[in-house]
Each structure stands twice: as C-alpha cells, then as structure tokens.
Amino acid sequence: MTLTDLRDGFRDDDQRQCVQAAVHCRLADDREPQECRYLMRFWWQLSMPYQEVSLEELRLNVGRQKLDALLDLISAIRSSHEEIDAWLAAAEQTFPVIQDRGFSLDSDG
C-alpha cells in the first residue's frame, strides 16, 4: 500500500498542519533517533505527492503504540475529515507533548 495519496485526504491546509503538528510534537521524540527519523519522514509524507516513507519502513522502525496511531491516522485520512478530527482529539489525549529536555537545560543554565 502506497502512502502517496495522503496529502489529498485533508479538508484543507489547516487540518493537515494540525495533524503534522501532532506527529511532530506528540510522536516524534528525538531521544529515539531511529523512530524519530521515520516519524519525521511520515510527517513530510503528509504533504508530498511522492513516496518519502513506506508502510513497511514504518512497521520496522516505529514502536507498536505509535505505529497503531499512524495506521489509525492513515485510515482516517482515507475515510473522512471528521475521522481526522477524531484522530487529532485522540492523539492529544493519548500522547503528551514531548518536552525537549536539552533545550530546557540549556535555557536554565
């Protein structure tokens, strides 16, 4: 299954950007560099017409809980704008915003 159709499933750019922000701020943790790399490739895929990342690469490099969230998101994008809104609400409930510990340590010092 290709992921090149994802950018066409959003209501508008605002909805896509909200989803991208959730992927970036709630899923992509740079303390897990390999997983983060593939999550950010998926983040990019949400607005690109070409293949940036495959489903198989995501399965191999993303942990189970986050992979399940991505699969739910892909399904929502291919279903309806309301499903995407529901996914966003669920992601906000399930995944806290990732704190950049390096930045906070640097700014305290």
CA 34 from chain centre, in angstroms, equals 14
- Which residues lie below 8 Å from residue 79, measured CB to CB, with a gap of 6+? none
Span 48-104, pLDDT tens digits: 999 999 999 999 999 999 999 999 999 999 999 999 999 999 999 999 999 865 555
pTM metric for this prediction: 0.90
For 32: left if phi > 0, alpha if psi spans -120 to 50, otherwise beta; the answer is beta
69 CB neighbour count, 10 Å cutoff: 21
